[in-house]
Homo-oligomer: A and B are copies of this chain.
Amino acid sequence: MPQIAYLGPPGTFTEQATRLLTKGFDAELVPYETVPMALAAVRAGDVLAAGVPVENSVEGSVPATLDALTTGEPLVAVQEAVLPVQFDLLGKPGTALTEIGTVASHPHALAQVRGWLAANLPDARTQATSSTAAAAAAAAAGEFDAAISAPVALEYYPSLERLAGELADVRDAVTRFLLVRRPGVPPEPTGADRTSVCAVISDEVGTLTEMLAELSLRGINISRIESRPLRDRFGEYRFFLDFDGHVADARIGDALTALRRRCSVVRFLGSYPKADRSPASVRPSASEQAFQSAAKWLEDLRAGRLA
């Protein structure tokens, strides 16, 4: 059975996302201690793929993921998952909130439920753990009265019970995960795909604007952009771009070659179905048909067969 890596331990948001990312695919999920370690396992061929957080992660450091993704051998994303940031309070069955003296979780999770804690467990002492699942494990082991965990943790610690839910102070936050593997033929286009790239450009005024114009002139919708400093290359910086469409689409292929011609480095990070399955809107001037008929026209011009 193929193995899929994820940022462990079991019972975290990343595990939950990796299950989603591999749904319908018979694989064994294998936890790794860090994202770079999970990616190294993919690169080494120890596992088939890895589920990693790429945006607004609770437990994983996203900048570290992005850096690991773009350093070393190429990896490409083939699947996307988006999870609501939802925390549960787990403890021994029947525990009343008033009985809780200690509560554990990952520091970021603790920060994100601060308001709920102040209102509901004003006197509880908080304790950091290395993950939300580690908190559940410790609660199950009796080290703490309660844990703040991803809902999925309950499956791993059946001796615990959900004492409260929807603890996050901010509603509607989400985290985004990708399933990455070694390069291969991209997944089939679905009409509702996203493409991710990382590009290095000079920091001259206007270069970034021109890069984005290469996308917008082809009617391509940018869904995410993030620049990241490059310490080792003076006068350049790196940015991550996600946009609607698939490398197999004419407009996307055309835009990618434009980026490739103009950037010092372009790393293709994959084309994959969008988690929300919302179909890309394609302008008539950027349709497959428009690209084909323009290519045919150019061929005719060059051959002197202009009608």
* Chain A residues within 8 Å of B, Cβ to Cβ: 33-37, 56, 59, 61, 63-64, 67, 74, 76, 106-108, 110-112, 114, 126-131, 134, 169-174, 183-186, 203, 205-206, 208-210, 212-217, 219-227, 229, 231-232, 239, 247-248, 253, 256-258, 260-262, 268, 283, 285-286, 290-291, 293-295, 297-298, 301-307
Contacts and interface: CB of A to CB of B under 8 A. Distances in A.
A130 B107 contact: yes
Contact of A37 (B34, B114, B128, B183): B114
Nearest to A61: B108
In this complex, which of A61, A256, A286, A305 has the most chain B Cβ atoms within 10 angstroms of its Cβ?
Answer: A61
8 contacts: A36-B114, A205-B216, A206-B216, A209-B209, A209-B213, A210-B217, A224-B229, A248-B302
A31 to B, nearest CB: 14
B225 A261 contact: no
Contacts of A232: 172
Nearest to A244: B205
Given A208-B212, A217-B258, A247 B128 contact: no
Given A106-B107, A225-B239, 13 more contacts: A36-B114, A107-B130, A128-B130, A185-B302, A185-B303, A186-B301, A205-B283, A208-B216, A225-B226, A225-B227, A248-B302, A260-B293, A261-B294
Nearest to A131: B107
Contacts of A304: 183-186
A52 B274 CA distance: 33
A64 B294 contact: no
B205 A219 contact: yes
A231 B128 contact: no
Given A61-B111, A130-B110, A306 B205 contact: no
B301 A247 contact: yes
A258 B267 CA distance: 24
Contacts of A217: 210, 213-214, 217, 258
B220 A301 contact: no
7 closest Cβ pairs, A-B complex: A128-B130, A185-B304, A172-B231, A257-B294, A183-B306, A206-B216, A184-B304
Contacts of A214: 217
A232 to B, nearest CB: 7
A95 B293 CA distance: 57
A301 B246 CA distance: 11
Contacts of A35: 111
A217 to B, nearest CB: 6
A219 B207 CA distance: 11
Contacts of A34: 111, 114
A250 to B, nearest CB: 10
A298 B59 CA distance: 35
